[in-house]
Chains A and B, each alone.
Chain A
């Protein structure tokens, strides 16, 4: 991708990805889902998940899977509110950029 990805956009995408799974999702799967839309390194996601968790946008729980504990991430109410804010902001921002790139921006 030739456009740089900001930390806020990455947060928004991770929140959206986690929000899709009612019962929560885990690190490997989040990484793969994010990588479907964004070209990020696999090592990028841990700090993002950690930050979102510290900010109480996500919470975690451990559940046994195939004889080991797997950590699941779930969106919190605060995270849902934040995601909503990102959605609104992104709509405004992307519409402006789209207009500009199409040459439809009024003077």
Chain B
């Protein structure tokens, strides 16, 4: 392996690091090779052992650092950056061990604190993911409500129109019947006027009672829907 291959492999192994960190490390080892000179190139490579070994030390350090500073993205780095198992061959000292102990405690704290924001994120993601389904459902509910309302309106118009029609028709038939064209027409006309008197209060009842009742129901439904939605978000 030569220097160029070594650096290429190191760059590949550090690709999970933030760009600035990665460039700093690569620049350091580039400079190191430059200062050592071509004569010592193989010696340096032998000393560094392997790109994997160098990368592991850099990644472990970056992960540790993330735990020390209270930076969320870097804290996750401990797992993200580290490709290989934990190795303590570098600083096998008390100070270092105590350090990683503290970090563990901090990591637990961090996990608890982040629970709320995690569930919130899950809810938001779910809302976005299910949007293609939920949005049509909401639209169809609104459309159904409008349909029911218009239907009731139609029934009222129908009752009124029927009543008015029967009343006029009945009146005409009565007058025709009285004019001597036949008592059976007079009878039918009387029945029609009678029915129209029955329909009138029915239409009035729909106007007075049924419509406010339906409106109330709808208001309740809309309130429930928005109230639930408010809770979920």
- Secondary structure at the A interface, as helix, strand, loop or mixed, is helix
B35 engages A44 (CB within 8 Å): no
Chain A interface extent, by class: 20 to 34
Write the nearest CB–CB distance from A39 to chain B, whole angstroms: 12
Write the nearest CB–CB distance from A21 to chain B, whole angstroms: 14
A-contacting 9-mer, from B46-54, B118-126, B189-197 = B46-54
Residue on B nearest A62 in the bound complex, by CB: B27
Decide yes or no whether B57 CB sits under 8 A from chain A: yes
Decide yes or no whether A106 CB sits under 8 A from chain B: no
Contacts of B29 in A (CB 8 A): 46
Query: CA separation between A4 and B97, bound complex, in Å?
Result: 13
Contact of A10 among B53, B91, B99 (CB under 8 A): B91
Decide yes or no whether A51 CB sits under 8 A from chain B: yes
Query: CA separation between A10 and B65, bound complex, in Å?
Result: 17
B48 engages A28 (CB within 8 Å): no
A8 engages B28 (CB within 8 Å): no
A50 engages B61 (CB within 8 Å): yes
Decide yes or no whether B137 CB sits under 8 A from chain A: no
Using known A-B contacts A6-B94, A10-B91, determine if residue A43 contacts B31 with beta carbons closer than 8 Å. no
Write the nearest CB–CB distance from A78 to chain B, whole angstroms: 17
Residue on A nearest B37 in the bound complex, by CB: A28
A43 engages B57 (CB within 8 Å): yes
B120-144: which have CB < 8 Å to A?
A: none
Contact of A46 among B25, B91, B94, B95 (CB under 8 A): B25
A71 engages B35 (CB within 8 Å): no
Q: What mask results when residues 1 to 42 of chain A are scored 1 for a CB within 8 Å of chain B, else 0?
A: 000111111100000000000000011110100000000011
Residue on A nearest B40 in the bound complex, by CB: A28
Query: CA separation between A4 and B35, bound complex, in Å?
Result: 29
A6 engages B95 (CB within 8 Å): yes
Decide yes or no whether B116 CB sits under 8 A from chain A: no
Contacts of A66 in B (CB 8 A): 34
Please list 17 pairs of residues, one from A and one from B, whose beta carbons are closer than 8 Å in the complex, sorted by A's number: A4-B93, A5-B91, A7-B91, A7-B93, A7-B99, A8-B93, A10-B91, A27-B32, A28-B35, A29-B35, A42-B32, A43-B57, A46-B25, A46-B57, A47-B57, A54-B65, A71-B31
